[in-house]
Structure 1
Amino acid sequence: MSGPPLFGTPRRLRRGATLTLVFGTLLATGAAAGGLTAPDARASRNTTGTRIAAAPVVDGRQSDGKALAPATTGAPSPAASHAADSHSGSRTEPDGANGDHVDTGRIAEEIQDGKVGPQAAARLVSRSGDRWSSFYTAREYAGLQQALDGKYVGVGLSVRRVDGGRIQIARVQPGSPAALAGLRDGDLLGTIGPVKVTGLAVTEVVADLRGDNVPGSAVRLGVQRAQRSWAVTVRRATLDTESVTVTASADGPTVIAVDAFTEGVGDQVRDAVRDARHGVLLDLRGNSGGLVTEAVAVASVFLDGGLVATYDVHGEQRALYAADGGDTTVPLVILVDGGTMSAAEMLTGALQDRGRALVMGSRTFGKGSVQMPSALPDGSVAELTVGHYRLPDGRGVDGRGIDPDVAVPAGQDPLAESHEVFAGLGPPT
C-alpha cells in the first residue's frame, strides 16, 4: 500500500478536493525566524546530539531540519533556524498577544469552502496555537515542491540565523554559483539585492535568494568575512539536492547518511545497500522528514513487507506498509539525535519495533503529528494538523520521541561507537 507524501508535494491542489497528506516538518527549509543555533557536528550536515538541533537551509535545498526545539516541551517553537532557498516555508507561532487556539479542522473547511482568503488564513494559522501548522506563499510552496523533487533553483547557499539576527552562510554547495564566486562557510550575508537581511526571517532570506526560480537570473549579495566587506553578483542555476551521502568501507559498515526524504531517496538507499558487505549504518541525525512515500521505500529496503505505521486523519484510521522483498539479513544500525524527526522517526521506530535495526544515539525530537495542505485561490497553502501517527507496536511519537537502544553520551562519536556494536551483531547470514 503506497502512502501519502510526508511533508508533501501536492501536484494538483484544488479547493474542495482531498489534498495530499503530509506528516511533515519543514524539510530542510528555513521554516522559522527563530534565533536558535547549534554547532555543526559534521562538516556537511549540521546536527547536534542535544535536545536542540539545528540544520542549515540551503537556498535551494536543506532541511528545517533543523534548528529544533526540545521535544519535551509542548509550547510552539521555531521549527528551524536554517533554511534553504529552495525549501522555504513560513512556519508560524501562536499569537503571543492573546494565545488564542483555533480549530485547524475548521480552518481547513473554511478554506475549502472559499470563506477564508490568504491573509485571513495566514492570521488564523498564526493564532492556531499549533506549532506545526504553517502558511506558505505560492512562491514558497513552489520552491518546496521543487526541492522535494530533488532539484532547486538557487545559488547553492545554506543559511542560518545567528546572534543579533544576522544571517550566516552555514554551507556552500560544491560546484555551485556561490562556490565559484568564492563564498565560504561562516561568511555573513548583509544584503540580497537592495534588501538588508539582518533581522529577517530565514524564510524571507531563502525566498530572496531563490528569487523567481529563473535559472540564469542574477542576484547581488553583500558579504562580510572578518573585517572585509564586499559585494558579488552570482547567477542562479538549477542544482541537485544532496539528500543521500554514501561512504563505503573495505572492512567496516557502509555509512548511508540521509538528510531528508526527497524524491528518489529510496532507490539511492537500495542501490547503496546492494554493495554493502559489512553491514549498513543508516545515519538519520538531523533528518527532519520529507516525503512519506520515500521513508516507506527506505523501510522496504530492509523489510519483507509488513506494517510501517498507522495514522489518522480527522479520526479515520489508515496504514502504511512496506513492499515485499527487502534485505532482511544485512546488519543494520541507525544513528539518531534530537534533530531526527517526523518521517525519520517513523522509519526509525518501524525498524526498531520490527526487530530489524539497532538504534544508537540520543532521543529523537518527537514529531508525530500529521498535516494536510489546503490550497487557496492565489496558490498559497495552509498546512494544518489533522491527526497523529503510531508505530507498529502502537506507541505514539509526538512529544515523546524515540529512545535509542544504545545511548551515546554527549561528546562521544557515535560513528566510532557503532563499530563495537557491529562487531557484536556479526556478519550477514
Structure 2
Amino acid sequence: MTAVAFAYGGGVVTGILGSENPPPPRRQPETGLLDEAAQRIAAEAARPVDRQQLERAAVEGMLRALGDKWSAFYQPSEFDGYASALEGHYSGVGLWLRRSPQGRIRVASVQPGSPAAGVRIAAGDELVSVAGQPVAGRTVEDVVSALRGPVGSKVQIVFARHGRRYTATLTRTLMSTDDVTVQRLRGVGGAPVTKIRIASFTRGVGQQVRQALAEHPEQHRGGVVLDLRDNPGGLLDEAVDVTSAFLNGGPVVSYQSRADGSRTLYARPGGDRTTRIVVLVNGGTASAAEIVAAALQDHHRALVIGSRTFGKGSVQEPSRLSDGSAIQLTVGWYRTPKGRYIDGVGVEPDIPVDTTDPKVAEQRALEVLRGLLASLGGDTKGRG
C-alpha cells in the first residue's frame, strides 16, 4: 500500500526554495489538477515518483477523504485474487480477516486443512505483520493481498494473543474454500440434528445448503443448527439464497443507494418451513452473515443464539477502472425485514450465551431445539 506523509520538525518548515512573491502557477487549461500536479512532480521534483505510484496515491487519498474504512482500492492482480476467493478458490494460507471496532486487524476464521491451520493462530488473534511489514493503518484488503501469492511461495506472519507475540512461516497453497460443512449430530433426547457450518458466503454456498437440507431429511428431524460463528460475510446474493432455503418468499434485506435508489431483495418461494432452526452467532459474525441471522430472526423462522454480532451493515460494490484496477465503495446501509439497521449495532441474539467456549454454545443450541420440539409434542411442523 502506498503511504503518503508530510512531516516537519519544530513547527517551522525550512529548506523550501521560493520567494515572498512566488510566480503564478503555470496551469495548462487542457489538464486537470491531478494531471497538472503529476506533471509538475515528474518535471521538477528532486526525487520523482513513478506515475503509477502517483495515481494510486491519488486514488487512495480520495478514498480516505470519504472517511469510510470499508472503501478500498485494488491493483488488477489484487482484485483478481479477491474475486477468485469469492468464487471459492485462491492461492494463500487460509486466513479470513476482519477489522475490529478498535481498528486492529484480527483473524475472523481459519480454514480447516489450510497452512494457517497448522500453526497456533486462531480466530480473534491480532495480526501484527505480514512479510515483515506492519499491518497497522493498512486496509484489510491490502493485508489479505499480502497473504496471497504464488503457490509454493512462503510468507512470514506475526500475530498476537493476550499480549504475547508469535511468529510463523507459512507456505502458500491453492485453496478451495469449502465453506459449507455438514455434520450429523445426536440431539438432546436422541433426535437427529444436522449442523450446517458456513465459513463465508462464496459462490455456490446457497446451493450447498439446499442440498444439505434435501439429502436425508430424516437426519434433521430434531432440527438444524445453522452455525455462522466467525463468518466474515461475502456475496450478498449467496446470503439471500441461504435465507431462501428456510423461507417461503418475503423480504430478506433492503438498502438505498444513490445510483439505484431503494432496493429490496426477496427470498425465493418454496424454502423449508417445517424444520426447526437455531442460528449460532458471535462477535465475528459479520456483514452477509448478519443479514441471514437478522432475516431469519425477523421472520420468526429461527432463534439466534450466542453473543452480539460484529455490526457491519454497509453495502460495498466494486467497480473496475480502465487499467483493470478497481475501487470498492460503500453505496448504502442494510436494513433488516423489520427495518432495523445493524451497522455499528449488530444483531442481538434471542438467547445470549458465552461464546468463548464453542462447545457450550453448541450444547445450548441442541437444548433449545429439544425445547422447541417438546413444545409441539415432538412434531416438527413449522409456523406458517
TM-score by length of 2: 0.67
Instruction: Report the secondary structure of 2:185's partner residue.
Output: coil
Corresponding residue for 1:255? Answer: 195
1:219 partnered with 2:153: yes
Alpha-carbon offset, residue 325 of structure 1? 1.0
Q: Does 1:287 align with 2:239?
A: no
Structure number with bigger Rg:
2
Identify if the C-alpha distance between structure 1 residues 119 and 265 changes in structure 2 by more than 3 Å, giving closer, same or farther: same
- Structure 2 matches for 1:93-242, cutoff 5 A? 117-154=55-92, 156=94, 171=110, 173-174=112-113, 184-186=119-121, 196-197=132-133, 206-211=144-149, 214-215=150-151, 218-221=152-155, 234=171, 236-242=172-178
Structure 2 gaps of 5+ residues are 7-33, 35-53, 159-163, 374-378
Give the Å deviation of 1:281. 0.6
Q: 1:158 to 1:411 in 2, by over 3 A?
A: closer
| % identical aligned pairs | 43
Closer, same or farther: CA 191–348 of 1 in aligned 2, 3 Å: closer
1:322 to 262, 267, 273: 267
Q: Is the 8 A contact 1:171 1:185 kept in 2?
A: no
Q: 1:204 to 1:421 in 2, by over 3 A?
A: same
> Contact conserved, 1:366 with 1:399, CA < 8 A, in 2?
yes
Deviates more, 1:306-315 or 1:116-125: 116-125
2:329 aligned residue:
384
Distance 2:266 2:282 in 1: 25
- The root-mean-square deviation of aligned C-alpha atoms, in Å, is 4.0
- The letter of the residue matching 1:126 is R
Q: CA deviation at 1:124?
A: 1.2
Partner residue, 1:359: 304
Change (3 A) 1:344 1:222: closer
Aligned equivalent of 1:428: 380
> Do the aligned residues in 1 keep the contact of 2:306 with 2:349 (CA within 8 Å)?
yes
Per-residue deviation, 1:259: 1.5
Higher helix share: 2
1:128 and 1:358, CA in 2 relative to 1: closer, same or farther beyond 3 A? same
| Conserved 8 A contact 1:284-1:340 | yes
Which runs of 5 or more structure 1 residues have no equivalent in the other structure?
1-89, 96-110
2:212 aligns with 272
Corresponding position of 1:333: 278
Matched, 1:345 2:290: yes
Structure 2: which amino acid aligns with 1:146?
Answer: S
After TM superposition, give the deviation of residue 329 of structure 1 in Å: 0.3
TM-score normalised by length of structure 1: 0.61
State the AA in 2 paired with 1:260.
S
2:111 touches 2:177 (CA, 8 Å); kept in 1?
A: no
Contact map agreement 1:262 1:294 (CA 8 A) in 2: yes
User: Which whole-Å CA distance do the structure 2 matches of 1:133 and 1:369 have between them?
Assistant: 10
Is residue 167–residue 198 contact of structure 1 (8 Å, CA) maintained in 2? no
Q: Is the 8 A contact 1:117 1:376 kept in 2?
A: no
Does the aligned pair in 1 maintain the 2:283–2:308 contact within 8 Å? Answer: yes
- Higher relative contact order (Cα pairs below 8 Å, separated by 6+ residues): 1
Alignment partners' CA distance in 2, 1:368 and 1:230: 33
1:220 Cα deviation after fit:
4.2
Q: Distance in 1 between matches of 2:308 and 2:129?
A: 38
In the other structure, the counterpart of 2:29 is: none
Is 1:419 the equivalent of 2:366?
A: yes
CA separation in 2, counterparts of 1:137 and 1:428? Answer: 51
1:398 maps onto 2:338 in alignment: no
Tell me the number of residue pairs that the alignment of Structure 1 and Structure 2 aligns: 303
Q: Deviation string for 1:371-394 (max 9, x for gaps)?
A: 222322222222111212211112
Query: C-alpha distance in 2, partners of 1:261/1:267?
Result: 11
Partner of 1:297: 241
Kindly tell me: are residues 317 and 415 of structure 1, through their superposed partners in 2, closer, same or farther at Cα, counting changes over 3 Å? same
What amino acid maps onto 2:370 in structure 1? Answer: A
Paired residues of 1:190 and 1:196 also in contact (CA < 8 A) = no
Task: Provide the residue aligned with 2:182 in structure 1.
Answer: 246
Residue type matched to 2:297 in 1?
A: Q
Distance 1:246 1:358 in 2: 20
